[in-house]
Amino acid sequence: MNQLVKASTFAGNTFAVWVLLFAVLALFFPVQFVWIGPYISLLLGIVMFGMGMTLSLDDFKLILKQPKGVVIGVLAQFIIMPLLAYGLAKGLSLPPEIAVGVILVGACPGGTASNVMTYLAKGNTALSVTITSVSTLLAPVLTPAIIYLLASEWLPVSASDMFVSVVKMVVVPIVLGLLVKVLFKKQAERSLGAMPLVSVIAIVMIVAAVVSGSRDKILETGLLIFAVVILHNALGLLAGFIIAKLLKLEYPDQKAISIEVGMQNSGLGAALAVAHFNPVAAVPSAIFSFWHNISGPLLATYWGWKANKNTDKTSSISG
């Protein structure tokens, strides 16, 4: 079991490398990965099941203890990223499938990796976990509604069908994960160490499926999509930080909200794109999955280094 936990930790720490590696392999050898396409929803369900196994009532207590931070974080998540996505799609006159794909990423809740990044950044990790949990549980209603409002001018959107999809892919697996945790507590606790490895494998397979299924379009517009994703992510991180600062939240909370806003559940974006539009619309999610696992750790490392430096300064002055 210790070896499995070590492998899981290694996979989590090198996540971006595996995403990039298999994305490149899928680009050059698409036939080897196309078969994964029909299983994207199932793979996302596995990731969400793992998230359910990690949740507890403590994750939601902060709603009562620190409602301001939670409300600001959740609202920022579902307002900033969708509006940035819409602005980029309009401003850059993106092709319909790509425009919808970018909006899809923006309308998704925060990704679980944001919690780890907030911890490394010496931010408010409890706040990050609560925002991720609340935004994920609100996703069945808010994500389809936002996509319908912002993306309908490019492609037809069925908010009701999308609602059903999000419930199936997100809520049901999370509830099942919670039930397993409650009913089989000891076994669930033993298996938690392996969950990062399972999640990494699932997300890598989703990315490989998307890339292999949209190979020609990626080769045609890959640089444009990559530039849009980088811009979207960077603006989200910046806007989240500025909003939290303007609303006078504490510095650790500002870092948590910045990372929450900038790091999305791109697996959900890819799954919804494939289920309701076409594989091309899933490409921004696939690239986002890779990129935010580079920008997030870079920002977290900087903030963590800055916090440690300030701590050392304080210690030397008091000593």
Q: How many other C-beta atoms are found inside a 10 Å radius of the C-beta of residue 61?
A: 12
Q: Where are the alpha helices (DSSP H) in 247-282?
A: 251-262, 266-276
Q: How many other C-beta atoms are found inside a 10 Å radius of the C-beta of residue 143?
A: 29
Residues 134-171 have pLDDT tens digits of 888 898 899 999 999 998 888 888 888 888 888 888 88
What is the pLDDT at residue 258? 92
In the CATH scheme, what architecture does the domain 2-305 have?
Up-down Bundle (1.20)
3-state class (DSSP) for residue 17: helix
Contact 79, 236 (CB under 8 A): no
Q: What is the mean pLDDT of the chain?
A: 82
Look up residue 311 and give its two tokens: 């701590």
Which residues 6+ apart lie within 8 Å of 94 measured at CB? 88, 102, 224, 228
* Residue 222: strand pairing partners: none
What is the pLDDT at residue 1? 54
H/E element, 104: helix 96-107
Residues 303-315 have pLDDT tens digits of 878 777 766 555 5
CA quadruple 300, 111, 255, 296: dihedral, nearest 10: 30
Question: How many Å apart are CA 285 and CA 103, to the nearest integer?
Answer: 10
Question: How many Å apart are CA 106 and CA 82, to the nearest integer?
Answer: 4
Question: How many Å apart are CA 207 and CA 267, to the nearest integer?
Answer: 8
What is the pLDDT at residue 90? 92
10-residue mean pLDDT profile of the chain (319 residues): values are: 69 72 85 84 81 73 82 92 93 89 90 77 83 88 91 86 86 84 75 74 82 78 84 93 92 90 84 83 82 79 77 53
The whole-model pTM stands at 0.82
Look up residue 259 and give its two tokens: 């990372």
